[in-house]
Structure 1
Amino acid sequence: MEPRKLLSSLFYFSLLSLLSGNQQVVGSAHHRHLFDFRPSKLFVFGDSYADTGNLGRSVGRSWKEPYGITFPGKPAGRFSSGRVLTDYLAKFVGIKTPLTYKLRRVGGEYLSNGMNFAYGGTGVLEITSPLPNMTTQIGFFQQLIKEEVYNSLEIQQSSAAILVLSGNDYSSYLSRNGSVQGFPSFITQVVNQLILNLKRIQGLGLKKIAVTTLQPSGCLPQITVASSFQKCNGTLNSLANYHNLLLKQSVAKLNNETKETTIVIIDLYSAFMTVFTNKSDHLGSTMFENPLKPCCVGISSGYVCGNVDESGTKKYTVCEKPEAAFFWDTVHPTQAGWRSVYSALQANLQ
């Protein structure tokens, strides 16, 4: 990665973000409600920030120890020590966490809270075949409507959708290209596809939809390790800001074009930064002494949280108090981290 080149090409985008306005943004003091009604069903699309167990055991380290150490006490498919963003958003709208898509055939009352189609490691574009990207996930939802697992009237009157993304498209781009050349146009490609996904969900009858901004990607432990977890990378945060600016502008335009549908933006970037700045969950008692340092880390280069060698020996360490850490591994928050993000959002949603 060439931070100086990225900074020179994207610096002005972060300045432009200060000028963006007129969007309905969750986390802004001007908009205090996620939706103007309480949905009885929530349909979730996205990646590991939202996945509650769709990714298979054979490919997902979220099913390996020590994931799930806080909740439910064992690995359960969440990329965290416990609960993730989906759990807290469901809590906010007043329903139980939606069933994962892979368990859809259990039927009955388990379907009553909606469904989670998110798969860890996926993106907006086709970057992780055969894992289902967001477009494919929406296809799964469309098929369930066609099969009348959920009827159209139910979708229109009592349901909401949330689209969550953490930047896997951009990580994949960097790994393929080795540099940031062409990044601005690629960001536009990602956002354009995201808007097409929003339009497609609108076409399925959902009138209440939310989409998250990117978190400050320059603050992820996989980046801040270069500064011993002391400093965010402003260059990569400018990249996230540019994505978020384009997203907000595109959503504002889409809302103007489709008056019957409300699309709101859940501002994860601001929520994360609020927690980092305060170094605490200001609505609770959790204190993050160093919010950029992960709890579960590999013991040497090349090892990640959950890895073991051929004899089963752990190649990672876990901090003594996961509840006192914001980040769980190099990318994902702990349950305490997600709770603090939820609190930062909730402060403006009452």
Structure 2
Amino acid sequence: MDFFPFLLSFIFIILHLSGQRVVQGEVDIQRHHHHHKEPITKLFVFGDSYADTGNINSSLVPSRNEPYGVTFPGKPSGRFSDGRVLTDYIAKYLKVKSPASYTVRKHLAPHHLKNGMNFAFGGTGVFETLNQGPNMTTQISFFEKAIEDKVLTTSNIRKSVALVSIAGNDYTFYNFKNGSIQGLPSFISSVVNQTIKNVIRIKELGVKKVIISNLQPVGCLPSETVSSSFKECNETSNNLLVAYHNTLLTEAVTKLNQQIKYHSSSPFIVLDLYDSFMSVLKNPSTYNIKNELEPCCVGVSSNYFCGMVVEKVKKYTVCENPKSAFFWDLGHPTDAGWRAVYTRLRITNALKQIHDH
């Protein structure tokens, strides 16, 4: 989740003159003809660390080590936070329990899968990333296989909602591969294109609605604000990379919904994380946040990160009150941060479309 700064002003020209737009593919989504409202009983989750609730089991991953999970559930659970993540709050809104992680499905009784399944893996993206975990295309294949194997019943999938989390790992990897600034607009377009293909595929497997997060203000992540001692966001990243990605995503989803005309209700919903993050960061006291940009858990030097222990010595420090901080580590919100984001989503009725028929 380390995002690279975009410091050259001429990127603005490249982005806005590139003419790159998302290409719409053929959509053949089965239209259901039931008009009565059915309760949503399941949540299926795809994406990265903003949504992963425990798919990665390796102790080499920070989320499996202390102090992750100190707020909830009281010990490391695989969540990249001191507590809950986006998945947990979306589940709360739907009034279902957070779905079981895909990697533990074989160890669970059938009733433990009644709330859906979480296929998200921290560090992954739409394409291949620095993380070796399954990308989103592979995660959807896991979902498809679970349906084929009757681990998940198709009769209940139509009562489900899918959450797709995209937090920018594809762009981190693009930078790692020394991708050119000139090639960035085209790459952003390809990321959005593939995202659209993915969400169409999820919908075709029978879920009722698909929620797709847009990019959060990556220029405000501690990995970028560290250069200003956590005092100010990198607006270049926010105004160029993030703005372009989010514009393309919104355009593509709008076209998709218009193309389908699904009982006058939009089956694809863009979850505006950008607005929610920025609202909290600009008005932290409104959401009971006192420390908006500085991470609560930090490594004792640039060589270490939150959760790292060397020869039984903790190489990190944790703030006195995680509930007052928005960010937990260099790239992820705290439990309180996600709660504040969720509060903003509720205030703006951003999730209301889920229940529209």
TM over 0.5: yes
Partner residue, 1:266: 271
- 1:281: how far off? 4.4
Amino acid at match of 1:207: K
Alignment match, 2:321: 321
Q: What corresponds to 1:87 in structure 2?
A: 88
Paired position in structure 1 for 2:7: 4
2: CA distance between counterparts of 1:172 and 1:10? 21
Displacement, 1:188? 0.4
Cα offset, 1:207, TM superposition: 2.8
For the residue of structure 1 that corresponds to 2:305, the secondary structure is coil
Structure 2: how far apart are the matches of 1:137 and 1:59? Answer: 22
- The one-letter code of the counterpart of 2:336 is A
Decide whether aligned partners of structure 1 residues 177 and 198 sit closer, same or farther in structure 2, where only a CA change above 3 A counts.
same
Which has the higher mean CA deviation after the structures are superposed, 253-262 or 326-335?
253-262
> Corresponding residue for 2:47?
46
Helix, strand or coil for the counterpart of 1:4? coil
Given that residues 41 and 113 in structure 1 are in contact (C-alpha distance below 8 angstroms), is that contact kept between their aligned partners in structure 2?
A: yes
Kept in 1, the 8 Å contact 2:14–2:182? The answer is no
Check 1:50–1:2 CA distance in 2 against 1; reply closer, same or farther (3 A cut): closer
**3-state DSSP of counterpart to 1:115:** strand
Q: Write out per-residue CA displacement over residues 232-283 of structure 1, whole angstroms, 9 at most, x where no aligned residue.
A: 001110211110100000001111122236101110000000001101344x
Q: Determine whether 1:201 maps to 2:202.
A: yes
* Residue pair 2:299, 2:316 contacting (<8 A) in 1 also: yes
Seen in structure 2, the aligned counterparts of structure 1 residues 199 and 326 have a Cα distance that, compared at 3 Å, is same
CA shift at 1:104, angstroms? 1.1
Matched residue type, 1:126:
E
Aligned residue in 1 for 2:129: 127
Write out per-residue CA displacement over residues 200-225 of structure 1, whole angstroms, 9 at most, x where no aligned residue. 11211123111001100000000000
Cross-structure match for 1:104: 105
Amino acid at match of 1:4: L
Deviation at 1:37, TM superposition (A): 6.1
Deviation per CA, 1:100-144, whole angstroms, max 9, x where unpaired? 101212132111100110000000112246411111000000001
CA distance in 2, matches of 1:2, 1:92: 34
Where does residue 345 of structure 1 map in the other structure? 345
Shift of 1:321: 0.5
Partner of 1:142: 144
Cα shift at 1:59: 3.7
SS in 1 for 2:10: helix
Question: Structure 1: how far apart are the matches of 2:131 and 2:298?
Answer: 27
Aligned match of 1:63 = 64
Matched residue, 1:24? none
CA contact (8 A) 2:51 2:86 kept: yes
Q: Which amino acid aligns with 2:182?
A: Q
1:121-172 residue CA offsets vs partner (Å, 9 max, x unmatched): 000112246411111000000001101122223212x111110011000011
Give the Cα separation in 2 of the matches to 1:320 and 1:292.
Answer: 15
**CA distance in 2 between partners of 1:150 and 1:216 (Å):** 35
Who is 2:33 aligned against? none
CA contact (8 A) 1:99 1:110 kept: yes
Distance 1:173 1:76, change over 3 A: same
- 2:285 pairs with 280, 289, 292, which one? 280
Deviations for 1:44-102, whole angstroms, at most 9, x for unmatched residues? 00100000000122342100111011111111100000111100000001111111101
- Counterpart of 1:31 in structure 2 is none
Deviations 1:171-218 (A, max 9, x none): 111111165331111100100000000111121112311100110000
Length-normalised TM-score, structure 1: 0.88
d(CA) in 1 for partners of 2:48 and 2:313? Answer: 29
Which residue number corresponds to residue 27 of structure 1?
A: none
**Matched position secondary structure for 2:261:** coil
Identity value in percent = 52
Residue 245 of structure 2 aligns with an amino acid whose one-letter code is: H
1:263-319 Cα shifts (integer Å, max 9, x gaps): 01110000000001101344xxx232x30100001111121101122x211111110
What RMSD in Å do the two structures reach over aligned CA positions?
Answer: 2.0
- In structure 2, the CA distance between the partners of 1:342 and 1:167, relative to structure 1 (3 Å rule), is same
- In structure 1, the partner of 2:330 is 330
Q: Which runs of 5+ in 2 are unaligned?
A: 18-36, 353-357
Letter paired with 1:58? S
Inter-partner Cα distance in structure 2 for 1:72 and 1:155 = 28
Is the 1:326–1:337 contact (alpha carbons within 8 Å) kept by the matching residues of 2? yes
Distance 1:331 1:130, change over 3 A: closer
Structure 1 counterpart of 2:279, which letter?
T
* Inter-CA distance 179–227: structure 2 relative to 1 (3 Å threshold): farther
**Which moved further from structure 2: 81-90 or 49-58?**
49-58
Aligned length: 324
Shift of residue 12, structure 1, vs aligned partner: 8.3
Letter in 2 for 1:330: L
1:152 aligns with 2:176: no
